[in-house]
Amino acid sequence: MDLSYILNHLGEDRERYFGAVAPPIVQSSIFAFPTVDAMRAGFRDEFGRHVYTRGNNPTVEILRRKVAALEGAEDCLMFGSGAAAMSAGVIACVQGGDHVVCVAKPYSWTRAVLKDLLGRFGVTTTFVDGTDTANFEAALTERTRLIVLESPNSMTFEQQDLAAVAALAKPRGIRTLVDNSYATPLNQSPLALGIDLVAHSATKYLNGHSDVVAGALCGSEALLREVFRGPYMTLGAILAPHDAWLMIRGLRTLPIRLQRIARTTCEVLAFLEAHPRVRRVYSPHASANPQLALTESQLRGASGLLTVELDVADVAAVERFCDGLARFLMTVSWGGYESLAFPVCAVFPKDAPLHPVAGVPLSLVRLSIGLEEPVVLIDDLRDALARL
Ligand SMILES: *Cc1c(COP(=O)(O)O)cnc(C)c1O
């Protein structure tokens, strides 16, 4: 199935809605049945049929089909956020007393669901440096049921060898779940490497327009039916039909957006790496990345996230740099059409030291590259760096 078929046609049945080219938003919470027998059949397969929109909805289903096809998955469930997709994936795989191994620096709310939420229910988690596969093996216990990965992560971009971790987990009956938000299905295919479940913050590149919060979880139909019966239906963190419709629209331009973003990102990366006031640039594609070989073998292309470590003596200089950016909007999140800057120091109190004893230096500023002309972004960065 070619990419444009998936994005332009798959899951869409235009004959059923007047030949309309854009699909309808089926804004209905419930679906009626002509007979008791038909209703009974609906209840037997809420995952695949239309009964109630907390389970399945025709507009959301179009999106499920497209995202599943992009990931090379049998099926996909859409959620109201990426955090919900990750949480549902985790919750479906563990019970009280079980043990999870997770990468050391996952997305903060992934850490929170494992440590804070599931910790209250007797699930324990060991966080390990995932750049060395041996660390996963060393952390396994008899109760390990799940390995949670994020490759690369979204701040310093450490990667895990997905095929090697899957090969470690599978024979032991341990499931694997990876957050693939950074790479998108276009640049990395974890299921093909043996991973069981792939989650996305679809808020980021998949939607790409900074107007929807959404999540996706992809995997085998059998595993997703488990997720559906469990956390999907019980927690009810669903994607509304209107948001699904916006996402279908955003998704149609994913390849062309990513192509443009990758090109610009490489130019910005080269500019920053050569700038005397930049100490280091973090990116899977940065020349200083010790995992460049894994980048080559596991990622098909660049995404638009990179993190700059500024050569500064205090947090005030970081603030001057960020306040001086005119074209990068300063905020959280990433993956949209517009370029963004996220200063790590903004989450710390004003008088925090530049180098905390443990944790990331406050001289880091994460950039998300959007669709602007490269020269516009580079000029903006040059001007802001001149204020250091
Ligand atoms: C944003 C993000 C999430 C959470 O997604 P939401 O859609 O904000 O809930 C999960 N993982 C990564 C890597 C993210 O960047």
Between the CA of 83 and the centroid of ligand 1 the distance, in Å, is 6
Strand partners, 197: 177
Q: Ligand 1 pocket, 107 CB below 6 A?
A: yes
Amino acid at 319: E
Per-residue model confidence (pLDDT) at position 351: 87
Q: Taking residues 282-295, what's their average pLDDT?
A: 98
Phi, psi of 117 (to 5 degrees): -75, -60
For strands 329-330 and 340-343, give the pairing.
parallel
What is the number of other CB atoms lying within 10 angstroms of the CB of residue 17? 14
Q: Ligand 1 pocket, 368 CB below 6 A?
A: no
How many percent of the chain have pLDDT more than 90?
A: 98
Distance CA 319, CA 321 (A): 5
Question: In this model, does residue 286 exceed pLDDT 80?
Answer: yes
CB of 106 closer than 8 Å to CB of 130: no
Amino acid at 60: V
Instruction: Name the closest-CA residue to atom 12, ligand 1.
Output: 107
Phi, psi of 24 (to 5 degrees): -75, 155
Q: Ligand 1 pocket, 81 CB below 6 A?
A: yes
Q: Which of 187, 183, 100, 180 shows the shortest CA–CA distance to 144? A: 100
Q: Taking residues 188-193, what's their average pLDDT?
A: 98
Q: Ligand 1 pocket, 178 CB below 6 A?
A: no
Per-residue model confidence (pLDDT) at position 357: 73
Confidence band, pLDDT 50/70/90 cuts, at residue 74? very high
Token reading at 304? 């638009």
Q: Ligand 1 pocket, 85 CB below 6 A?
A: no
The atom number, within ligand 1, closest to the CA of 154 reads 13
Question: In this model, does residue 359 exceed pLDDT 80?
Answer: no
Distance CA 52, CA 30 (A): 5
Question: In this model, does residue 358 exceed pLDDT 80?
Answer: no
Domains and CATH numbers, the chain: 3-251 (3.40.640.10), 254-385 (3.90.1150.10)
Q: Taking residues 68-81, what's their average pLDDT?
A: 98
Between the CA of 252 and the centroid of ligand 1 the distance, in Å, is 21
User: Among 154, 178, 187, 213, which residue has the most ligand 1 atoms within 8 Å of its CB, making it the best to mutate?
Assistant: 154
Q: Ligand 1 pocket, 83 CB below 6 A?
A: yes
Between the CA of 16 and the centroid of ligand 1 the distance, in Å, is 35
Question: In this model, does residue 360 exceed pLDDT 90?
Answer: no
Between the CA of 35 and the centroid of ligand 1 the distance, in Å, is 42
Per-residue burial over 150-162, b if 16 or more Cβ lie within 10 Å, else e, is bbbbbbebbbbbb
Condensed to tens digits (0 to 9), the pLDDT of residues 118-150 reads 999 999 999 999 999 999 999 999 999 999 999
Per-residue model confidence (pLDDT) at position 88: 98
CB of 332 closer than 8 Å to CB of 268: no
Amino acid at 19: G
Q: Which of 66, 122, 76 shows the shortest CA–CA distance to 98? A: 122
Q: Which of 185, 201, 202, 209 shows the shortest CA–CA distance to 301? A: 185
Confidence band, pLDDT 50/70/90 cuts, at residue 105? very high
How confident is the prediction for the chain on average, in pLDDT?
97
For 10, 98, 124, 140, 250, the CA distances from 119, given in Å and listed in that order, are: 41, 10, 6, 17, 36
Question: In this model, does residue 2 exceed pLDDT 90?
Answer: yes
Per-residue model confidence (pLDDT) at position 63: 98
Question: In this model, does residue 213 exceed pLDDT 80?
Answer: yes
